[in-house]
């Protein structure tokens, strides 16, 4: 599943910290948790978790700088780090 939304422009550089969170652990994300996100070859963006499906297969994140809200699905080419 791909929402087709790009991560958009950013005003500040975001650098991932630590090891990526495997999709099997996305269910452990919590509302208002800060994350760093990369989709495919798109730039890295920061954001805040909004909602997470009980099984962790999809979650929604409000991207920084008013870029918007996007859904991230386990089938997307996404990498997630806890910020």
- Encoded tokens for 56: 């962790």
Q: Count the neighbouring beta carbons within 10 Å of the beta carbon of residue 7.
A: 21
Closest CA to 42 of 83, 70, 82: 70
Walk me through the domains of the chain, giving residue ranges and CATH numbers: 23-82 (2.30.30.520)
76/83 Cα distance (integer angstroms): 20
Nearest partner of 81 among 11, 31, 29, 32, judged by Cα: 29
Ranges of residues in the chain whose predicted pLDDT is under 50:
1-4, 9-11
Q: Output DSSP code: residue 16.
A: -
Position 22 scores a pLDDT of 96
Query: What's the pLDDT at 52?
Result: 98
């Amino acid at each position: 599943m791909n929402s087709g939304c790009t991560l958009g422009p950013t005003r500040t550089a975001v650098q991932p910290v630590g090891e990526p969170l495997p999709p099997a652990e996305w269910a452990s994300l919590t509302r208002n948790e800060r994350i760093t996100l990369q989709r495919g070859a798109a730039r890295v963006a920061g954001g805040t978790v909004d909602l997470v499906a009980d099984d962790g297969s999809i979650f929604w994140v409000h991207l920084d700088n008013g870029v918007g809200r996007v859904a991230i699905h386990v089938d997307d080419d996404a990498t997630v780090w806890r910020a």
